[in-house]
Amino acid sequence: MPITRDEVAHLAGLSRLALTEAELEHFAEQLDVIITSVARVQEVAADGIAPMTHAVPVVNVFREDVEVPCLAQEVVLSQAPAAEQGRFRVPRILTED
């Protein structure tokens, strides 16, 4: 089932990418080819196989609750696109949290 332009628009929205109409069409075509190809994984019988998420089978890696020096405020804000009153200034937020 080919991936549609609307589905790509949905994905673009979810990932905060403002794509043009032309891009949406173009990406839809390309993504369709790719998804069809990678869907091959579904051919593999994998009942009862645990998914792998770590090459390294290690557990319980912790740090102790001890202070470590942090960054200075000027350094933190030095790369900010906009700053005000020691804070990062961002455009008005639409979605409520």
Partner 1 sequence: MTELTAMTAAELAAAVAAGEVTAQEVTKAHLDRIAAVEPQVHAFLHVAADQALAAARAVDDRRAAGMPLGPLAGVPLALKDVLTTADMPTTAGSRILDGWQPPYDATVTRRLREAGVIILGKTNMDEFAMGSSTENSAFGPTHNPWDLSRVPGGSSGGSSAAVTAYEAPLAIGTDTGGSIRQPAAVCGIVGAKPTYGGSSRYGLIAFASSLDTPGPLARTVLDAALLHEAISGHDPCDSTSVNAPVPPVVAAARQADVGGLRIGVVSELSGDGYQPGVLARFGETVELLESLGAKVVEVSCPHFTYALSAYYLIAPSECSSNLARFDAMRYGLRVGDDGTRSAEEVMALTRAQGFGAEVKRRIMLGTYALSSGYYDAYYGKAQQVRTLVTRDFDAAFEQVDVLVSPTTPTTAFPIGERADDPMAMYLADLCTIPSDLAGNAALSVPCGLAPEDGLPVGFQIMAPALGDDRLYRVAAAVEAALEDRWGGPLLAQSKGLGR
Partner 2 sequence: MTDLATTLVPYDEALARYEPVIGLETHVELGTATKMFCGCRTVFGAEPNSEVCPVCLGLPGSLPVANRAAIEYTIRIGLALNCSISSWCRFARKNYFYPDMPKDFQISQYDEPLCTDGWLDITVRDTVGDRQVRIGIERVHLEEDTGKSLHVGGATGRIHGADYSLVDYNRAGIPLVEVVTKPVPGAGALAPEIGRVYVTELRELLRALDVSDVRMEEGSLRCDVNTSIAPAGSAQWGTRTETKNVNSLRSVERAIRFEIQRQAGVLDAGGRIVQETRHFHEDTGTTTAGRSKEEAQDYRYFPEPDLVPVAPSPEWVAQIKAALPELPAARRVRLQAEWGLTDLDMAALRNAGALELVEQTVAAGASAADARKWWLGELARRANEQGTELAALPVTPAQVARVAELVSSKTLNDKLARQVLDFVLAGEGDPDEIIAARGLAVVSDDGALIAVVDEVIAASPDIVAKIRDGKTAAAGALVGSVMKATRGQADASRARELILERIAAS
- Please classify residue 5 by burial: count the beta carbons closer than 10 Å to its beta carbon, then call 0-12 exposed, 13-18 middle and 19+ buried: middle
For residue 9, report the phi and psi dihedrals to the nearest 5 degrees: -60, -40
What per-residue string of b and e applies to 14-27 under the rule 16 or more CB within 10 Å gives b? eeeeebeeeebeeb
Closest approach, Cβ 82 to partner 1, in A, equals 7
Binding of partner 1 by 76 (CB under 8 A): yes
For partner 2, the closer of residues 30 and 73 by Cβ is 73
Binding of partner 1 by 73 (CB under 8 A): no
Count the residues of the shown chain that bind partner 1, applying the rule CB under 8 A: 53
Binding of partner 1 by 4 (CB under 8 A): no
Binding of partner 1 by 66 (CB under 8 A): no
